[in-house]
Amino acid sequence: MASVLWLQGGACSGNTMSFLNAEEPNVVDLITDFGLDLLWHPSLGMELGKQAQKIFWDCAQGKRPLDIFVFEGTVMMGPDGTGRYDMFADRPMKDWVTDLANAAQIVVAIGDCACWGGIPATEPNPTDSTGLQFHKRERGGFLGPDFRSKMGLPVINIPGCPAHPDWITQIIVALATGRAGDIALDELHRPQTFFKTFTQTGCTRVQFFEYKQPTTSFGEGTRTGCLFYEFGCRGPMTHSPCNRILWNRQSSKTRAGMPCTGCTEPEFPFFDLAPGTVFKTQKVSGMIPKEIPEGSDHLTYMAHAAAARIAAPQWSKEDMFVV
Ligand code: SF4
Ligand code: SF4
């Protein structure tokens, strides 16, 4: 039976909500079928006050074995490095994080905030927030670049704003059943099984992307065209399985006519949320996308785009989905 302790730092609880929405397995299945010993969780823990504090201290002091320490939200360092912006169980949360990360066999960061700081760490970052082992794309974060858990692993990052329920539960199940060694991580410590492909992989608009056919409006009911050219879709440069492992088992942002905003990448939210940068493709010379699909360069992209537009068949300019 693997013991799991889940704490929240600077967070909106979005990843907890996502976790509670898990279906295959759901949270009860995790406990009954996969033998998860959920020591405490902010929304599920039964203990309060001193009783809860005893669990944390017992884990921190090694009196109670802690297999998996899950952290959601940022580590708040402010003000002035005291961590007192986020007090929890009579201590700055950052002190709990230090003790519990060092006591755990495995440490898992759930969601952008815990992975790399997310929205709270966006400049001017008033709470001096950071991620567990990254600050945006820079290695380090709160625990430092060389941190390794007792099992010798770096922090396992499951990003997203929020992370999909399946990304969370499948990794927790793998860890709880002793398969940590099977989880290949990328250079940002993300499990490759989820984060090697792009949001674009499996997108129903990819044929419009291939023929460089834009959509002119977004939202519900928009079925034709690709959101890359006008609406800032980051699908070709965002590593996520959102069109392979669908949300609510039935859809994704791009399928619903909304651009991918790149929430699994450390730079999210891009452009510091400046007016006119969200849902809008940033362009050079008014027409060339400033950011192009990963692995391409501007010259090659432009040549390919010009040829694709010339070759575009009529169907790629029409609604091909018939209901
Ligand atoms: S750019 Fe976005 S909308 Fe277009 S095909 Fe890629 S993921 Fe789909
Ligand atoms: S489609 Fe993009 S923004 Fe939406 S959840 Fe997936 S990676 Fe995040």
Each residue's pLDDT tens digit, 160-173: 999 999 999 999 99
pLDDT score recorded for residue 92: 98
| 3-state SS class at 120 | coil
Mutate which of 198, 207, 208, 209 to test ligand 1's pocket (most atoms within 8 Å of Cβ)? 209
pTM (global) more than 0.85: yes
pLDDT at site 323:
65
The tally of CA atoms less than 13 A away on the side-chain side of residue 49 is 1
115 among annotated binding-site residues: no
Average pLDDT over residues 262-285: 88
Q: Provide the CATH number for the domain formed by 2-193 in this structure.
A: 3.40.50.700
* Substitution candidate for ligand 1 out of 197, 199, 200 with most atoms within 8 A of CB: 200
Structure tokens at 141: 């974060």
Residue with the smallest CA separation from ligand 2 atom 4 is 260
> Alpha-carbon distance 195 to 180, whole Å?
17
**62-80 burial by CB neighbour count: b if 16+ within 10 A, else e?**
eebebbbbbbbbbbbbbee
Q: Which amino acid is at 298?
A: H
Give span(s): CATH 3.40.50.700, the chain: 2-193
Q: Is 292 in the pocket of ligand 1 (CB under 6 A)?
A: no
Structural contact between residues 167 and 194, judged by C-beta atoms closer than 8 angstroms: yes
Asked if pLDDT for residue 87 goes beyond 70, the answer is yes
The first and second tokens of residue 113, run together, are: 């905030």
Q: Is the dihedral of CA 90, 95, 97, 103 positive or negative?
A: negative
**Could you give the residue range(s) of every CATH 4.10.480.10 domain in the chain?**
197-322
Q: Is 229 in the pocket of ligand 1 (CB under 6 A)?
A: no
CA of 198 to the centre of ligand 2 (A): 10
Summary mean pLDDT of the chain:
94
Is the CB of 227 within 6 Å of ligand 1? yes
Residue-wise pLDDT for 120-161, tens only, equals 999 999 999 999 999 999 999 999 999 999 999 999 999 999
State the Cα–Cα distance between residues 260 and 253, nearest whole angstrom. 6
CATH number of 197-322: 4.10.480.10
User: Which residues form ligand 2's pocket by a CB distance below 6 Å?
Assistant: 160, 199, 238, 240, 242, 252-253, 260-264
